[in-house]
Structure formats: C-alpha cells, structure tokens
Amino acid sequence: MALGDLILDETGTVSGLRVLSTDASGTTMEVSLQTEGTIRGTAETTYWTYTQTIRSDGSIYGQGQGVMTTADGDVLHVIGHGSGQAAGPGEPVRFLTMLHVHTAAAKYSDLNSIGLAGEYEVAADGSATNKNWAWT
C-alpha cells in the first residue's frame, strides 16, 4: 500500500459549531464547514458536517460526511474520519484523516474503491485546509 497522487486540495471556513454533549469523557461538537478547491484539477465545492469529540487527554476524534459538486456538474458523496490533538491557544488543530467517496460519475468512479488519506487543519479563526492523496 502506498500514497499516490494528490486527489483533493481545498480550503474553506467553519460556518457553525454546536455543542452536542459534554461529560467526563469529553466534549462532542458538531461542525459545519464549506470548502472550495479542486478534485483532480477540476474546481469543486463541498459542504461538510462532522462531529468531533475532544477527549480529556486532549486527543480528538472526528467523523462526518460531505457532498461535493464539481464545476462539471458531477456529485460526489464523501464520508470520513480522523484523529488529532487539541492545539494551544491560537494554534491550528491538525487531523490525520481517511475519506471514502461514492459517486455515479464515471470520471471519478475509481474513487469508489480506494481510500483518500489526508491532512485537515483548522486554524483558530475557523479557516481550514484539506489535502487528500489516493491510498491504493
């Protein structure tokens, strides 16, 4: 198994946060995010919703889904999960992620059977970057 080509490269902004629960095991929040960028060089926009649990040891686990629309009109559905570590004040949170795509678009159908390994960062101001490589 190896990482291949950069498939998805996007930037965006967190548009909403909602606390779902908080207890001794940690705090779970819902995050809404809109990103724009490219998938295999084609412009795309993605709307994401995910939950993240910040655990008492500072580790973070997140999982969620997104729907992507390309400039060519293709639609891709994405689910993902990732882990990270809480950052210090003003520092970005970095997640190591795995995304899985499902689409009927022939141009991207090969993505239905591979994983996309990535790095997702969210800065204190809510700006975000997301990069994902083919994992085959």
Strand partners, 68: 46, 76
- DSSP H or E segment with residue 110: none
Q: What is the pTM of this model?
A: 0.92
CATH architecture, domain defined by 3-135: Beta Barrel (2.40)
The tens digit of pLDDT for each residue in 20-37 reads 999 998 999 999 999 999
Q: Is 73 left (phi over 0), alpha (psi -120 to 50) or beta?
A: left
Sequence-ordered list of residues with C-beta below 8 angstroms from that of 6, at least 6 positions apart, any chain: 131, 132, 133
The tens digit of pLDDT for each residue in 80-135 reads 999 999 888 999 999 999 999 999 999 999 999 999 999 999 999 999 999 999 99
Question: What confidence score (pLDDT) does residue 3 get?
Answer: 85
Average pLDDT (51-57) is 94
